[in-house]
Amino acid sequence: MDKKVTVVGAGHVGETTAQRLAEKELCDVVLIDVIEGMPQGKALDLAEAAPIEKHDSRITGTNDYELSAESDIIIITAGIARKPGMSRDDLISTNTGIVKSVVQAACKLSPDSIIIVVSNPLDAMCHVAFDTSGFPKQRVIGMAGVLDSARFRAFIAMELNVSVENTHAFVLGGHGDTMVPLPRYSTVAGIPITELLPKDRIDALVKRTANGGAEIVSLLKTGSAYYAPASAAVEMAEAILKDKKKILPCATYLEGEYGINDLFIGVPVKLGAQGAEEVIQINLTAEEQAALQKSADAVQELKEILSKLSG
């Protein structure tokens, strides 16, 4: 493989991300974790599946960063996961320290890489990665909207009993309770769902999407979602590695777009070899813009907590 992706954190999200990257034969994968033996064991297990899955991606597990040198992409999944009753925001203090140390170690060895942040609270951790790395804004991106849109799409498909392949959806804003699903821009075979479903059903799907992660946490009781988050991170990585110019909703650093400044927030982005190559600005109604601003205000509060922690 001529491409390398480092996945930091060998928990459920990290190991599943490594598996999907390898099985799509997108790159060689380095899986890093602080727990001795865990990334090595999981990497070996995945390597032993390769003959059956018919791919030749190399998967290496390690506890240090030397093998990650010259990575094209660094996917950060490290950090503590949510437990029942915890919000993503409750994770901020612990995960700030973890993400900061990861970025310092990984970016020194891969100065031209693109960072995809998965660790929660997502938008705040993007700021930590951005500030710590010193990378240009195009090369620090958060995985949020792809996951939230996939959840919205899944719920639409369940509601209308149609193929998920026919569904398209946009979810903007922060990765939390204030996210902004956009029914007007969400379609089935090109038909807006506002023409296919009554308002009360759409409202129910929007609410379920916003609570999508918490719903899974409450069911699992001892962990949080990982299959869909991993798939979302890999879709972003694939768009970058293949320079697809694919438009996906991602957390990116805004400088005036949508009336928002100096903040990571989920908006449609063109993803290619340079990272977040362009922010796509779509027309919002006054109500949608107000909801996006409310979401931005919630992210701003997290950013201010970060400032106090670093201060």
**Both structure tokens of 253:** 């650093």
Catalytic residue at 175?
A: yes
DSSP state string for 57-111: --EEEESSSGGGTT-SEEEE--SPPP-TT--GGGGHHHHHHHHHHHHHHHHHH-T
**Helix axes of 199-210 and 212-220: crossing angle, nearest 10 degrees:** 60
Integer Cα distance of 96 and 66 in angstroms? 23
- Neighbour count for residue 17 (Cβ, 10 Å): 29
Whose tokens are 């959840």? That residue is: 151
From residue 117, how far is each of 209, 218, 251 by CA, in Å? 20, 24, 9
Give me the catalytic one of 12, 127, 168, 175. Answer: 175
Q: Which helix (H) or strand (E) holds 24?
A: none
Torsion sign over Cα 56, 69, 125, 185: negative
**Both structure tokens of 11:** 């928990």
Residue positions annotated with a catalytic role: 175
